[in-house]
Structure 1
Amino acid sequence: MQIKKLNEINLFKMLGVKRILLGCGLGLLLSCSSEEPKMNVGEIAKETDSLYTALQSELAFYREKADSLYPALLDKEAELDKQYLKIKNLLAQADQQKNNARKLASQVEALQEELKKLRAFVDEQTLDLAELRRQNAQLVEERSEYRKLYEQEQDLKDSLAQKAANLKATTEELNKQLDKGAILRISNLEFIAAKLTRGGETKATNRRKRAEFFQACFKMVKNEVVQPGPNKFYMQIVDPNGHIIVEEKMGGGYFSDAEGNKLPYTIVKSFEYYPDKEDLCISWSPAVGSKWTFEKGEYSLQLYNRGLKVGFQKLSLR
């Protein structure tokens, strides 16, 4: 009877142990199923490269588009490289431990932990860059608006500049007309070769050997537009060879005509103009010791006032 009771007690004990072991086994199974799935080394390496490449592309995009963000982007890139290299080093260590299951498992756990950090970093930077993209789009839009305003302002300036240029051209044209209106016209132009008599009088001659100087006399036509004051007539004498006589010692030089061209003159006559002044004479003779001589042939005279030709005459010497 006692033996039978002992056997029953032992049976209950064995059943209890089995129940406990079964419960523990189920607990372990449930706890394992709630953990993150294990990744092998190849999967970790592949995801690491993918995350690194994706974020590098984003950073490169903004590095080209926004110079002002360059320092911040460099910091992000440096942190990315740091985490990427750390995982690469762990992968290299794992490769060395591939024949040691326990050490390899430890390396894989470390790799998964670092991969979590890399995922979190990439997610955070992706959100940050998305915000930067939004701000950049807003800045582009604002810059476009400013550009439109700038172009409108430039168009207005160009329009005003064109109007100013037109006004200047009109003013210059009016000034030219006024200049033409302020020309001293002449009449009764007489051009002679002459000599002085013993009494000091001027006597015309048509003989080259007797000629001592040229003289042009004329009357000025009254012009109310011309302001009283200093004025000038430029005289050109053209010899029989077609050359304008220019001797600096005898007052020769160059002047600008109404078109701005430089022209030689034989002599210039400066005088004070006033409305009642009518007669004027201009004389020219070769300098003492000059090699220039009066030659046989036809001479011509041209007179200029304020850059415009106002008189022309000819004479012949024999």
Structure 2
Amino acid sequence: MSDQKDIINKGDRNKIYFLIVVIAALLGTNLYLYVKDQQQSERFVTVNTEKDRLKLEVEKIEVELDKANNLNLVLSEKLQEEQKLARLKIAELKLALQKGVLTEGKLAEAQKDVMELRTFVKNYSEQVSLLEKENAALKNQRDSLKEFANAESRKAEELAKKNAELNAKVKTGASLKANNVYIIAYKVKSNGKNIEVTRASTAKKLSVKFGIVPNPLAEKNYHKIYLRIFDPAGNLVADENNMFEADGQEMQYTSSTSISYNDDNTSYTMEWVNPGDFIKGTYSIILYTDGFTMGKASITLR
């Protein structure tokens, strides 16, 4: 009887041990699942946090790239190509982060890509900054050269102006000036003899006589003399085809001749035959040579 009781007790103890093992296994499994769930939750939070950080980092990188491009510099083909590749990579990363399709493995690759982009943008910005400094230096050099050229141009213009003024003075100083200018009116007889008159009704031609003021600067050579005659009404008596230039303007002349100047006190005469009739009043004449006024005179006919 005692042996039978011992067998029963032993069977009960085995059942108890089995239940303890089962309970322990269940507790272990639950603990494992709880820990695993906690780890997965933490990993999910970590992954999402990393995605947000990467998204912010990509946006910062894009802002830095835009900032470098806002300098409006002319980039080399290499820099343009590098920038284009960087833009494509940024667009890919932003799209992947927006869709949330990055796995933990891809997230690690994205982190590597972002690090490479950060390095690229840093180097890119440094190259663009260097290019900006070089352009600024070239601009300063160009501005300096431009200012120097302008200054030299102004000096040249001033020198040319002074030379022109000096040449004008020399030319004026070398021009011939008439002295002892007077006019005689003549009647021309049928035999060709000239008779001095004072009446307009009998006058046929005017004879302008003049000498030359001694001038060592004047060129001893032939000089063209132009004569302008104005009638008592102030009208110029001239052929419209007779043109010359003097005192800085183009004018008509009545008559012209050439004289040989030798600075030897020679007297000269210019004659003008009136194709029409003389009228009563004062006739005025002006002589020109070498582009300047030479002398003036007048005569009154009764």
Structure 1 length-normalised TM: 0.73
CA distance in 1, matches of 2:273, 2:42: 120
> Hey, what does 1:103 align to over in structure 2?
none
Q: Which of the residues 243, 268, 289 maps onto 2:256? A: 268
Q: Is contact 1:44–1:112 with CA below 8 Å preserved after alignment?
A: no
Q: Structure 1: which amino acid aligns with 2:170?
A: L
Q: Which of the residues 77, 80, 100 maps onto 2:87? A: 77
Q: Which of the residues 278, 288, 294 maps onto 1:294? A: 278
Q: Is contact 1:221–1:278 with CA below 8 Å preserved after alignment?
A: no
Q: Which of the residues 54, 63, 69 maps onto 1:63? A: 69
Q: Is contact 2:188–2:195 with CA below 8 Å preserved after alignment?
A: yes
CA distance in 2, matches of 1:51, 1:293: 107
Unpaired segments ≥5 residues, structure 2: none
Q: Structure 2: which amino acid aligns with 1:268?
A: S
Q: Is it true that 1:256 corresponds to 2:277 in the alignment?
A: no
> Hey, what does 2:43 align to over in structure 1?
37
Q: Rate the CA distance shift 1:244–1:112 in 2: closer, same or farther, 3 A.
A: farther
Q: Is contact 2:239–2:253 with CA below 8 Å preserved after alignment?
A: no
Q: Structure 2: which amino acid aligns with 1:298?
A: T
CA distance in 2, matches of 1:285, 1:71: 90
- Give the share of equivalent positions with the same residue, in percent: 21
Instruction: Write the mapping of 1:79-94 to structure 2, written as runs, cut at 5 A.
Output: 79-88=89-98, 90-91=99-100
SS at match of 1:38: helix
SS at match of 1:274: coil
Q: Rate the CA distance shift 1:78–1:38 in 2: closer, same or farther, 3 A.
A: same
SS at match of 1:299: strand
Unpaired segments ≥5 residues, structure 1: 92-106
> Hey, what does 2:175 align to over in structure 1?
183
Q: Structure 1: which amino acid aligns with 2:245?
A: F
Q: Rate the CA distance shift 1:283–1:238 in 2: closer, same or farther, 3 A.
A: same
> Hey, what does 2:128 align to over in structure 1?
136
Q: CA deviation at 1:21?
A: 7.8
> Hey, what does 2:165 align to over in structure 1?
173
Q: CA deviation at 1:236?
A: 1.4
Q: Is contact 1:240–1:297 with CA below 8 Å preserved after alignment?
A: yes
RMSD over aligned CA atoms reads 4.0
CA distance in 2, matches of 1:247, 1:168: 37
Q: Is it true that 1:306 corresponds to 2:298 in the alignment?
A: no
Q: CA deviation at 1:28?
A: 8.8
Q: Which of the residues 193, 198, 201 maps onto 1:209? A: 201
Cα offsets for 1:135-189 (capped at 9, x unmatched):
2333333333334444443443333333323322222222122112211122221
> Hey, what does 1:246 align to over in structure 2?
238
Q: Rate the CA distance shift 1:113–1:13 in 2: closer, same or farther, 3 A.
A: same
Q: Is contact 2:210–2:267 with CA below 8 Å preserved after alignment?
A: yes
Q: Is contact 1:63–1:73 with CA below 8 Å preserved after alignment?
A: no
Q: Is contact 2:285–2:298 with CA below 8 Å preserved after alignment?
A: yes
CA distance in 2, matches of 1:272, 1:191: 21
Q: Is contact 1:186–1:311 with CA below 8 Å preserved after alignment?
A: yes
Q: CA deviation at 1:299?
A: 0.8
Q: Rate the CA distance shift 1:62–1:274 in 2: closer, same or farther, 3 A.
A: same
Q: Structure 2: which amino acid aligns with 1:79?
A: K
SS at match of 2:237: coil
Cα offsets for 1:75-120 (capped at 9, x unmatched):
32233223433454x45xxxxxxxxxxxxxxx6xx45555554444
Structure 2 length-normalised TM: 0.76
Q: Rate the CA distance shift 1:189–1:125 in 2: closer, same or farther, 3 A.
A: same
SS at match of 1:207: coil
Q: Is it true that 1:146 corresponds to 2:138 in the alignment?
A: yes
Q: Is contact 1:213–1:283 with CA below 8 Å preserved after alignment?
A: yes
